[in-house]
Structure 1
Amino acid sequence: MSSSEAALSRRFLLAAVLTVAGLAGGCFQPLYSDYTTSTMGGSVKTALRGIEIPEIKGLIGHYFRNELVFELDGSGEPDAQKTAKLEAAISESVQVVTVDYANGRADSAVLVATATWKLTRNGTAEVLASGTNSVRVPYERSSQRFATVRAARDAQVRAAKNLATIVRGQIAADLTS
């Protein structure tokens, strides 16, 4: 096979791959597009703006709620009509990963945060979506008490943000018709 025949077959292969990719690209529709319809009527973006989130207990619950409110309705429109309600509960636990056996102190830990949530339509008890999501956030522990407390709090905030992102994506996927 000469080099010109090899170049011709590579060009043909490239053209075939680009043609298939172009045809398949027309089937893709972004999840957060204005044209993606939801099971609640209207677009998914509008449905996400219509979700009411009451206060959630605990520090992670507070940060989780605030982040989820921002991610669902980043526009800041206060007059958006709430058509659904998200009820959530957050639990957390700490797992010790490594221990310094010389002084018996944990060097690092992993915060495991779990959100159990349910989205219901306002006015009815119809469950639109539900789920349980967990995240694991590692952090370092120090011999200095304040540094360890601050690292644990930062891990809680990171866990809440990660959970909010995961829950928002799952809600949007579940609301897509």
Structure 2
Amino acid sequence: MREVLLRSKSAFSIAAFALSAMVLSACTARPLYSVTAPAAAGVSSTMRAELASIAIKPVQTRYAQEVRNRLVFLFGGGQGEPATPRYSLDLRVTSIREAAALRQVTRGENEPTAATITMIGNYVLTRASDGAVVGQGSRRIMSSFDVPRQSFAEMRAAIDAQNRAASELAQLLQLSIAQDLSRQ
């Protein structure tokens, strides 16, 4: 009797394991409305081709160039700008630095010990064939940094914060532009 119980327990354990393995193998993690597997985070392969056909107009500042370079990489997957673009992106980037924390040096004088870079990206996406506006929008990102007493260290910390903000802003802009293209 005991042997029969042990056999039925082991058979039940094997059956339960096999059933749970089948159930878990059916689980996948992908976007709900995606037709195919995504080529990159949150972007389908058809959308990747649309994004790769966008040419980005030149910009004027160092931090705007950081955003532009990152967008070129994100759009083309590291292949650069398209030879025959279907869309044109006009990009305007502004950067604002604000003191986040102050330390009193003397009675009437304060010195910042932390600061925040706020980077704002405005864009207008137009179709190259007829100049029609496909999408436009604005995205904002903030990046904080410590303000040391040495001037070079302060300048380098501000540039690093701008670079972090530029990278994150480019990712936000990529998703926003992908949404604009998907509405067509």
Could you say what secondary structure the match of 2:153 adopts? helix
- Decide whether the 8 Å contact of 2:147 with 2:154 is kept in 1: yes
Equivalent residues in 2 for 1:22-171, closer than 5 Å: 27-29=32-34, 30=38, 31-34=42-45, 43-76=46-79, 80-103=83-106, 104-171=110-177
CA deviations 1:126-161 (Å, max 9, x no partner) are 111110111111011011000000000111111111
- What letter corresponds to residue 100 of structure 1 in structure 2? R
Q: 1:156–1:79: structure 2 CA closer, same or farther, 3 Å change rule?
A: closer
Cα offset, 1:87, TM superposition: 0.2
2: CA distance, partners of 1:81 / 1:60? 27
Q: 1:108–1:125: structure 2 CA closer, same or farther, 3 Å change rule?
A: same
- Decide whether the 8 Å contact of 2:52 with 2:81 is kept in 1: no
- What letter corresponds to residue 67 of structure 1 in structure 2? R
Could you say what secondary structure the match of 2:160 adopts? helix
Could you say what secondary structure the match of 2:101 adopts? strand
2: CA distance, partners of 1:115 / 1:26? 26
Could you say what secondary structure the match of 1:124 adopts? coil
CA deviations 1:59-91 (Å, max 9, x no partner) are 111101100000000141666531000001111
RMSD of aligned alpha carbons: 2.6
CA deviations 1:86-136 (Å, max 9, x no partner) are 001111111111101135210000001101101000032211111011111
Q: 1:176–1:110: structure 2 CA closer, same or farther, 3 Å change rule?
A: same
- What letter corresponds to residue 44 of structure 2 in structure 1? S
Aligned-residue sequence identity (percent) comes to 26
Could you say what secondary structure the match of 2:105 adopts? coil
Aligned pair count reads: 153
List gaps (5 residues or longer) in structure 1: 1-14, 35-42
Cα offset, 1:33, TM superposition: 2.3
TM-score between the two structures when normalised by the length of structure 1: 0.76
Q: Look at both structures and tell me which one has the larger radius of gyration over its CA atoms.
A: 2
Using CA pairs under 8 Å that are at least 6 residues apart, name the structure with larger relative contact order, 1 or 2. 1
